[in-house]
Each structure stands twice: as structure tokens, then as C-alpha cells.
Amino acid sequence: MPTVDVVIPVYNEEKALPGSIAQLREFLSEKFPHPWRIIIADNASIDRTAEVGAALAAEHPDVKYLRLEQKGRGRALRTAWLASDADILSYMDVDLSTNLNAFPPLIDAIVTRGYDLATGSRLMPASRTTRSLKREIISRGYNLLIRLLFWHHFSDAQCGFKAITRQAAHDLVPLVEDQSWFFDTELLLRAEQRGYRIAEVPVEWIEDLDSRVNIVRTAIDDVRGLLRVRFGPPPGAARP
């Protein structure tokens, strides 16, 4: 039976972390059939997240705390995934905005259906999403731009709910240059470019109104990333 690591990237989440880890552990213990481990990937928090994360890891053998001294969700995922010995690597946001009932189907897409990478989608017909009008417009506009530039086959690039085989991660993650929020999109685009099979899973998703994400600034950075991937040199190529 394949082992699964669930990475939770965090930055200044001292308040949310205990409740989220408790809820996730309860769900995995009761409803998830595979051996699992939770990894808290703290990317340079300056509040009490380090203390809280270390305490949770000391209390629960199935929780590991990983500290990075530089910010960046992409950096946190890169470090945790490439250091893992699990068969399947996954991640979700600490606010658990995505309903956990979608997690078993996400992993099942890899284990039984043979996909290399699985991602949640808030834009599939079966999905249920609750979010502000501004975020809805920005998200749909961003995904439309990706389609115009790449004619890709996935519908939602930035849903914080993904899983990947360890082999695919070791092949693809070194090709992803972004260390922040564009990591998700670039990972999917690099996977498609190299012929990896990507599954989408419909999710129920509720916006976290206390999110640390600056939506407009992140969207601008994401557009810059899209232009780099579309028109820049391939990964690893010498730059002028």
C-alpha cells in the first residue's frame, strides 16, 4: 500500500495551525485508507508558528515539523517534497478551504487510475465554490489567460490541493523556477509539456476571509510567470 505525505505550507499561522492539524489528523485516521504523515513546512514565520509546529510534532508521531529560513510557498513545497521518501506527495492549504472529502479521490486518481499528478479544481461542473466576486473574476480571468497562452487541459491552475508521485516530483520540481504562489501553475504546465498525465478532481471550496494572500499582487506575479514560461528559455537553458 503506497505511503502518502501531506504537506501543509505555513507562514505566520500560530492560531490556525493547532485546529487544522487536529481536524486533518482526525479525518485521515478515520477516512483515509493509506499510511500517511503530515509535514508542517514553515517558510520563515516570525510569529509563534515554529513553537506551535514543533510542539505538534513532538505530541504526534504522525506529524513532522520542517523549518525554512526563507519565505515562499513554492520553496516550502519544493523542500518538503524532494526530501520525502513517501510514494505519493501531496499538499493542501492550512485553512483547509478545500473540503477534505475530496482528498481520498485525489489520491485514488494516482493509486488506482494511474495518473502522475492530481489537482483539485474549483471550476469543474461538479465543484461547489464560495468566494468573493473579486476573487471569482480574477481566478476565471487568470485561467482563461492560461488557456489562451498554452491551450492546456486543466481548468484550475491555482487550487491549493494537489498530489503527485515521488518520481514525477523528482523529475518536475527541479524544472519549476518559481518559489512562491506561481509554483502550482508552473508545475502543471511543465507536467503537460512533458506528457505527464494530470487528473482533476472536483472540490467543495470556501474562501478563507483571513487569508494572507494579496490576491491582486499574486495575480500580477502569476501573469509574469506565465509570460516567462511561454516566451522564456526552457528550464536549465543558459540565459544571455
Residues pairing with 45 in the sheet: none
For domain 4-231, give the fold: Spore Coat Polysaccharide Biosynthesis Protein SpsA; Chain A (3.90.550)
* Per-domain residue ranges of the chain: 4-231
Mark whether 184 is an active-site residue. Answer: yes
For the chain, what is the radius of gyration of the CA atoms? 17
Region 166-181: mean pLDDT is 96
The helix/strand/coil state of 109 is: helix
* Sheet strands side by side (includes 117-121): 63-68, 36-43, 4-10, 88-92, 161-165, 117-121, 198-202
For residue 143, give the C-alpha cell: 485561467
Separation of alpha carbons 36 and 100, rounded Å: 14
Per-residue pLDDT tens for 12-52?
A: 999 999 999 999 999 999 999 999 999 999 999 999 999 99
User: How many CB atoms within 10 Å of residue 206?
Assistant: 14
Q: Of 5, 93, 178, 184, which is the active-site residue?
A: 184
Region 221-225: mean pLDDT is 87
Q: List alpha helices for 60-176, DSSP H.
A: 73-83, 103-111, 133-150, 166-172
Per-residue pLDDT tens for 56-69?
A: 999 999 999 999 99
* Cβ pair 68, 53 in contact under 8 A: no
pLDDT at 238: 40
User: How many CB atoms within 10 Å of residue 196?
Assistant: 18
Model's pTM, two decimal places? 0.90
